[in-house]
Structure 1
Amino acid sequence: MANILITGSNRGLGLEWVRQYAEAGWRVFATCRYPEEAVELAQLADRYRSVRLYRLDVTNVGQIVALAEELKETPIDILINNAGVYPEKFLPLNAPLNYEDWAYTFQVNTMAPLRLTKTFVESLACSEKRLVVAISSHMGSISEITSPGSYFYRSSKAALNAVMKGLSLELKPLGIGVLLLHPGWVRTRMGGIDAPLSAEESVRVMRERIAAFTLADTGRFFRYDGSEIRW
C-alpha cells in the first residue's frame, strides 16, 4: 500500500485530497492543527481504516520533528504541502497592512513546505513514488499579476515557487521529484462561493498530474489542467 502525507487536511482541498486518496486505497497520513475539531476528517477516518489523523501546526518545529520521528520507519510516497493561509482575502485594498500577518503568511506558505520536505527527505527517498507536491497559486506568478493587492499571499507563493524550484535541483539526484501545482479557482473557504471549480474536480484532475509525473517535470509549475505557468 502506498503512503501519502497531507498537510491542512481538515477542510477544502486538504479534506478532498484525503477523501480521494483513501478511496483509491492509499494509506493517508492526514494532518491538521486541531484534529479534535475536524469533524469531517474524523468521519473519513471512520469510513476508511487507511486514514490516520495527526496533530500538526506546520509552523511548529517541535510538532514536525515529532511527526517525523513517529513515521520514521514509514516510506512516504507523496508529500502534499497543502496547508496555506491568505489573511488579506477579505480586506479592502486600502486597509492598513499588518506586517505580523505577512510574516505568518511566509511561515505557513513558504517556510513550512521547505522545512517539512527536508525533514521527511529520508522517508521520501525510501519510497517508490518519491514525490513532493507544493500547492502554489497562479497568484505567485509575477507574469500573471494584473491587479494590485494581495501582497502577502502573492509574495509568499512567489517565494514558494523559488524555494521549490531550487529544492527540485537538490533532490533530483536522490530520485525525489518536486511538482508545483495551481489548483484553479476552487469553491473553498479561501476561494469563495463564486469559484467555478469544486474541490472534487480540482483534486481529481491534479491527481492525474501526479500520476503522470516523471523526473523530467521536476521543478515545473503547472495549472491543475496540465498547462504550464510562467514564473
Structure 2
Amino acid sequence: MPGTILITGCNRGIGLEMTRQFAADGWTVIATCRNPSAAWELSELAEGNDHIEIHGLDVTDYTQMAALASELQDRALDVLVSNAGYYGPKGVTFGNVDVEEWRTVLEVNTIAPYKLVEAFAPNLAVGKHKVVGVLSSKVGSIDDNGSGGGYLYRSSKTAVNQVVKSLSIDLAERSITVLAFHPGWVQTEMGGPNALISTDESVRGLKRLLLNATPDQSGYFYSYDGSEIPW
C-alpha cells in the first residue's frame, strides 16, 4: 500500500525522478529542495498532482530543518531518503586539496544526512514501513578504492557509511531500518553525460530496495541493482 515518503534534493536528477516514480505509484511525496521557486521541473511535476507537496529545505540549514520537522510533526513517514549531495571540485590531485571545499562536502554529504534522520526519526517511528535510504556512492567503499584521489567526495561517502551503520544500531529499538545506497553511475548533472545508466533505471532499483527492505538488512550497503557492496 502506498504511504508517505520525504526526499531531499528533488529539484533535479535522482531526487526528481524518485519524486516522479513514487507519486505515480500513489505515494504522498514530501519533496524538498533548497530553492523551490527555481525548481521549475519539480514545480511542473507537482502542478495538478495531489500526491506531491514541495517544501524548501537547505539540508545544511539545521534551523530550517528543525522548523520543517516541527511543521510535519503530526505526519507519519514511511520512508525517508537522504538524496541531496555535493561533489565539490573535480580533478583534485594530491597536494591541491582545498580544505574549505572539503569541509563543505563533508557538511552536505555526511553531517546533513545524520541531522535529517535525527530530525525525522519520530515521524518514521509512527510510520508503517520505517525505512531510511541514504544515498552514498561506491567510491566511498575503502575496499573498492584502486585509483586513489577523490579525497573530498570519497571521504564524505566513507564517513556517511559509518553514520548509516551507527544509525542502524541506535534506531533498531524503534524498528527503523537504515540502508546506504550506491545509485550507480547515473546520467545527472553530477554524473555527467557519459554515465552508464539513466535516472529511471537507477530509481527503479532504489525503489525496489526501499520497498522490500527488511530489518535484517539494516546497516548494509547496497548497489541499486540489489548487490551488496563491501565497506
Q: CA deviation at 1:96?
A: 2.6
| Structure 2 counterpart of 1:79 | 80
Asked if the contact 2:179/2:219 (under 8 Å) is kept, the reply is yes
Corresponding residue for residue 68 of structure 1? 69
Aligned mates of 1:72, 1:212 — CA distance in 2: 26
Is 1:35 paired with 2:32? Answer: no
Q: What is the Cα deviation at residue 173 of structure 1? A: 1.1
Query: 2:19 maps to what in 1?
Result: 18
2:131 corresponds to 1:131: yes
Q: Quote the offset at 1:88 in angstroms.
A: 2.5
Q: Distance in 2 between matches of 1:147 and 1:108?
A: 24
Note the aligned Cα RMSD (angstroms).
1.1
For residues 209 and 50 of structure 1, the distance between their equivalents in structure 2, rounded to whole angstroms, comes to: 21
TM-score (norm 1): 0.97
| Identity value in percent | 45
CA distance in 1, matches of 2:92, 2:32: 32
The answer (yes or no) to whether the contact 1:77–1:124 under 8 Å persists in 2 is: yes
1:54 aligns with 2:50: no
Partner in structure 1 of residue 144 of structure 2: 144
Deviations 1:208-228 (A, max 9, x none): 111211001000001111111
Aligned CA distance change for structure 1 residues 26 and 100 (closer, same or farther; 3 Å): same
Aligned to 2:221: 221
Letter aligned with residue 229 of structure 2: I
Say yes or no: does 1:184 pair with 2:184. Answer: yes
SS at match of 2:158: helix
- Tell me, yes or no, if the aligned pair for 2:78 and 2:129 is still in contact at 8 Å: yes
* 8 Å Cα contact 2:178/2:219 also seen in 1: yes
Q: Secondary structure at the match of 1:143?
A: coil
- Counterpart of 1:59, as a letter, is T
Distance between the aligned counterparts of 1:115 and 1:210, measured in 2?
20
Displacement after TM superposition at 1:148 (Å): 2.2
CA deviation vs aligned residue, 1:76-104 (integer Å, no higher than 9, x gap): 11100000000123x35368321111001
Q: Which runs of 5+ in 2 are unaligned?
A: none
> How many Å separate the matches in 1 of 2:41 and 2:95?
34
Q: Deviations over 1:31-68 (max 9, x none)?
A: 01010000000011104211011110000011100100
Asked if structure 1 preserves the Cα contact closer than 8 Å seen for 2:92 and 2:150, the reply is no
User: Which residue identity does 1:223 align to in structure 2?
Assistant: S
The number of residues matched between the two structures is 230
Rounded Cα–Cα distance in structure 1 between residues aligned with 2:167 and 2:68: 22
For residues 95 and 208 of structure 2, what CA distance do their matches in structure 1 show?
Answer: 40
Equivalent residue, structure 2, for 1:103: 103
